[in-house]
Chain A
Amino acid sequence: MAKQLSWVPEDVEMGRPSAARVYDYLLGGGHNFAADRELAERFARALPGSRDIARLNRAFLRRGVLFLIENGIRQFLDIGSGIPTVGNVHEIAQAVDPTIRVVYVDNEPVAVAHSQLLLEHNDRAAAVEADLVHPDGVLDHPAVHGLLDLDQPLGLLMVGVFHFVPPERAPLELLARYRERLAPGSYLALSHFTADTRPAEMAAMVEVMSNSRDPIHPRTRAEIAELFTGFELVNPGVVPTADWHPVAPADDVAGPEREQIYAGVGRKTATG
């Protein structure tokens, strides 16, 4: 075997910094390598208030999930779920109702392996490696089929992930395909970077991430609202994360960083 030609190109480069681990670091987690921390520090320098931005986003994820559960959702598809740091969707949801099912999707192999290790003994949650830009690949994945019933309403979470989709991947069509395959009564919860405020800082952050494995593409509020086409936005619509159903003092901050990520939740109507 030893001298055989290896014909498969090697692209297994696990050491490269990833958005998942940068985010973990910004949230105060320890699931990151030196290279990630270095990138995260540059990220934070370019975009002051990054730690709060990350925290507000994560807090929106929690409130969004609880909101959907209150509205009867019992199964979640969490796309771009990242490193299982603190306050993972299955932990939030299964604390309310242990029968809730959750499938995590991410395209970063280490984050997926990590989630799988964490879920080894949870038969109501699974993690799969797949790419958001292939809706049918995600929805037809055996693990999705095994746990979720697409004929029933479902909570589709795309929190802090859609800004990784470049314009040339036809974002609207992508979301349309997801929507088409969901049962009426399903919800989409989405949050997204914007450069509507602090454009200079945003541009600097985009620049920092441009050479990583996860470049970022901020969108305007109108563009983000358009992603909800076919979904009925629940109040208050597409707003800064801090303004989406805040409940605790920590859900808001005073500075401009409160406006850096827009969030919204929409419901697929019978006709949508």
Chain B
Amino acid sequence: MPGVPVRGPWSRSGLAREWAVAMATSGYVPLGHETIERELEELVDVLFDVLLAEPFAPAPAEEVGTGLADLGFTTPTGLSRTVELLVRRLPAHPELLDVHRLPDKVASVVGALTDSYAFAVRNFVFDQQEELKRALLRAKERAERQLWLSEARFREVFSGSPVGIAITDVDGALVETNWAIREMLGYSGAELAGRDLVDLVHPDHAAAVREAYRSLNEGVSGRLRERGQLLHKDGDPVWAYLAASVLRDANGAPRYHVTMVEDITELRLLQHQLTRQNLHDPLTGLPNRQFLVSRLTDLFARPEPVDLTLFLLEVDGLAVVNEGLGHDAGDALLRMVAHRLHGLVGEDPRAMLVRTGGDEFAVAIEGEPPELARWAADINAELAEPIYVGEQGIAASVSIGIVRQVAGELVFASAAELLRAAEVALRRVTVRGKRQWGLFDPNLDSRERARAGLAAAMPGAWENGELEIRFEPAVAADGRQPLGALATLAWNHPKRGLVRHGECIALAEQTGLSVPIAQWVLRTALERARQADSDVPVAVPLTADQAHDPDLVGTVGDLLAGLDFGASRLWIGMPVSALRDEQGEARDNLQVLAATGVNTYLHGFGLGYEDLACMEDLPARAVEIAPDLVQRLARNPGTVVERAVRDLVPLVREHGAGVLVDGIETEQQAEWWTRLGVDALRGPLFADTSW
């Protein structure tokens, strides 16, 4: 009778014991042997219940196949041993002797078990493959991030270093040079690219330096340290320390050399008490930078600080003249500038005029300074009179950076600092255009340094997890229910407090981190969105750099596939400014993304016809009105701009694109835009919306 327990090897527990031994060696299962036996005994009971039930239905035996897989038995051996055992034992089992057509029933039961086992194991493997893919993605992402971080750090050092840095390929051809080395040798980056580094070495030293690089390549020595003479573009010798090391590729083959070049000319000059001749610039006959430095150093050596004004003048557009009319024309122009400057200040005993570099002159005036604006205007008036090179009349203008040391107010510690300040002032004005002048502003300088400091700290902050992603809601204009979540960046700076999205992305662009950060933002946003219960759409606004990233489509595609995230749930925003540019990859990126089912929208959208043209040409599904437009309308209602906006919204909507408005701060603004018929709103007003 069913239910009456039979003892011995022919009991149910005997069968379970036998089964456990067969299974335990079929693969590794991290369970104690008693546990395995107990679990299998339950499965044996299921089998007996099925076989004894009237009417017969094999389906419940599927539970046994699934149960085995759940216990961790997933190997083919596990299945074959199970089938073998059951087919041998069940048809002859004393408890089952009365079962009608037993062999047929055992066959059906084993069939159901096999099916479900195979199915469960298949899913088990799929899950593990999925997990492994995620791990691979994560490891790759981390490796890429480390690569980027070290690269970004290198960039920082490279461009900011006062030491000259040259990267050359193994044949010695210059691949990249930094600002300091160009300055030191008087060449532009373009002039240096591709040249043989050893060509820049004084012929007396060239052979030795070349030899040193060769032994570096061959691994004879790991580092190169040489003192030698380089040649300035104008032929002047530049004494320098060269320190070079090799960058090798994954296989250990030399790939690049990084050479640090430190100018020790000043040291050298002192050592050798060089004659006046070497302190002069052969082209213009003016004293050169070294002369200026040594004179300033003398001035700084005096016990009392002196009042001093230093003007650094850069000839605007010399490169254009050199390129368009030839170097002879450029040289003539420089001589003309030198001559006229000399005419202006040459007679003044308190003034010193020097040529400090390729297109740069300096005037230092001791004591009471001239009136700056007048002085700058006079100079440019003087230079405006063209000179003739052949048929061609050329006029010059200069931009001027000025720094004043006024005893008791702003005193610099050294000649080098004074020069650096003048350099800073000059670089700041040249950004504004030609013929500009500006005074060194120590506050601006410290602000910029603070900002530069912040930018420099960003890679580290990212690594330390100080950067985070915040979701900002976009709500329906009508009804205000949340429509989607926008991923924005925030930096919890331990000292500065919260650095917001706008500044974060500006800093990221500055450090070259913007593309890897965008990838991280995308990934994290999608991962978090996937974990959320709801399936609200997620929007990720990109910067111009990010929109132009040639890998963007691949990155997005990999993420969507890797995370199994529906393309239609993602919105990628691109700045219209990037899309106006027909050159970059942004337009292609947007088109391909749209074709793969990702939603795209244009942000920073405004009133320009080009913005409308972008909308018309590209398959973006929505546009986002820029916050500055919102603010402007709030400040100046009833203007022409307002009328244009009233026309713009219906135009966009008629075209079939949605309109989102960014930067809504007040209820009033929200209502105004809602009346215009826009679709969605976001901004500080909705900060507390939850979903």
Contact = CB atoms under 8 A, between A and B. Distances in A.
A29 B125 CA distance: 7
Interface in B642-678: none
Contacts of B129: 30-31
A239 B400 CA distance: 83
A28 B142 contact: no
A10 interface: yes
Contacts of B250: 9-11, 13
A52 B27 CA distance: 8
Contact of A12 (B32, B140, B151, B514): B140
B135 A28 contact: no
Given A7-B247, A117-B131, A92 B176 contact: no
A35 interface: no
Nearest to A59: B28
Interface string B107-136: 000000000000000001111110110111
A8 B147 contact: yes
A114 B131 contact: yes
A59 B515 CA distance: 46
B388 interface: no
Contacts of B515: 1
A109 B140 CA distance: 8
Contact of A113 (B33, B72, B138, B175): B138
A9 B136 contact: no
B550 interface: yes
Given A12-B143, A249-B21, A28 B28 contact: yes
Contacts of B176: 5
Contacts, number: 118
A249 B24 contact: yes
Nearest to B514: A1
A6 interface: yes
Contacts of B144: 12
Contacts of A54: 28
B154 interface: yes
Q: Classify chain B: how many residues form its interface, as a range.
A: 35 or more
B178 interface: no
A58 interface: yes
A7 B154 contact: yes
Contacts of B72: 86
Given A7-B167, A30-B125, A86-B72, A109 B21 contact: no
Contacts of A14: 136, 139-140, 143
B23 to A, nearest CB: 8
Interface residues of A, number: 46
A69 B521 CA distance: 43
A5 B155 CA distance: 10
A180 interface: no
Contacts of B136: 14, 110, 113
A247 B35 CA distance: 13
Contact of B27 (A12, A55, A83, A253): A55
- Which of A9, A51, A253 gathers most chain B CB within 10 Å? A9
Nearest to B141: A113
Contacts of A59: 28
Contacts of A248: 24, 32-33
A11 B140 CA distance: 11
A109 B151 contact: no
B545 interface: yes
Contacts of A55: 25, 27-28
Given A109-B142, A109-B143, A250-B33, 8 more contacts: A12-B144, A13-B250, A28-B27, A30-B126, A55-B28, A113-B139, A114-B131, A250-B24
21 contacts: A1-B515, A2-B550, A7-B258, A9-B250, A10-B249, A12-B147, A14-B136, A28-B28, A30-B124, A30-B125, A32-B132, A55-B25, A58-B28, A59-B28, A87-B28, A109-B139, A109-B143, A112-B139, A113-B142, A114-B132, A117-B135
In order of increasing CB-CB distance, the 3 nearest A-B pairs are A87-B30, A250-B24, A30-B128
